[in-house]
């Protein structure tokens, strides 16, 4: 019932910026937490950032603190990830996810996932 669609990925040089968006929809959207994860080939899915849908609580992975900012626009049902000072290591498919439980950083705690959007960082 809940659908998530990411957009905004692309190719950017190291040090550049991208903003990812995640549009979510559902009849009675009961999401408590929205988050971003990423996965590179051969690697496990990695937590990036999460935000409470009602409150303003946020949490970030250490690897992106100070560079990425998660935000939301509730009336537009949209989640964002502003990525600045991108590094080669940030290259991955980025997924947005929705959870009906409290803010967390564990992938298994999320109930719905988008299809992902590719972020490529070049030198």
| 77-102 per-position pLDDT tens digit | 899 999 999 999 999 999 999 998 88
Amino acid 25: pLDDT: 86
Amino acid 9: pLDDT: 97
Amino acid 28: pLDDT: 60
Amino acid 26: pLDDT: 75
Alpha-carbon distance of 1 to 8, in angstroms, equals: 23
3-state secondary structure (DSSP) of residue 108? helix
Cα angle 87-90-96, degrees, rounded to a multiple of 5: 145
Amino acid 90: pLDDT: 98
- CA-based max dimension of the chain: 44
> What DSSP line would sit under 48-104, residue for residue?
EEEEESSS--EEE-TTTTTTEEEEEEGGGTEEEEEE-S--GGG-EEEEEEEESSSS-
Report the percent of the chain where pLDDT is more than 90. Answer: 78
Residue with tokens 């999460």: 50
| 33-65 per-position pLDDT tens digit | 999 999 999 999 999 999 998 887 999 999 999
User: How confident is the model over 114-120, as a mean pLDDT?
Assistant: 97
**Among 13-22, 24-33, 63-72, 108-117, which is the least confidently predicted range?**
24-33
Amino acid 29: pLDDT: 62
**What is the residue-averaged pLDDT of the chain?**
93
Alpha-carbon distance of 6 to 21, in angstroms, equals: 6
């Amino acid at each position: 019932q809940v659908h998530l669609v990411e957009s905004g990925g692309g190719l950017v040089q190291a040090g550049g910026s991208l903003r990812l968006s995640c549009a979510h929809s559902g009849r009675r959207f009961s999401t408590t937490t929205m988050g971003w994860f990423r996965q590179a080939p051969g690697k496990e899915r990695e937590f990036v950032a999460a935000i409470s849908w009602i409150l303003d609580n946020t949490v970030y992975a250490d690897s992106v603190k100070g560079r990425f900012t998660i935000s939301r626009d509730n009336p537009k049902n949209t989640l964002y990830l502003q990525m600045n000072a991108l590094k080669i290591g940030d290259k991955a498919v980025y997924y947005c996810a929705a959870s009906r439980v409290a803010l967390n950083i564990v992938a298994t705690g999320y109930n719905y996932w988008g299809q992902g959007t590719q972020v490529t960082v070049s030198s």
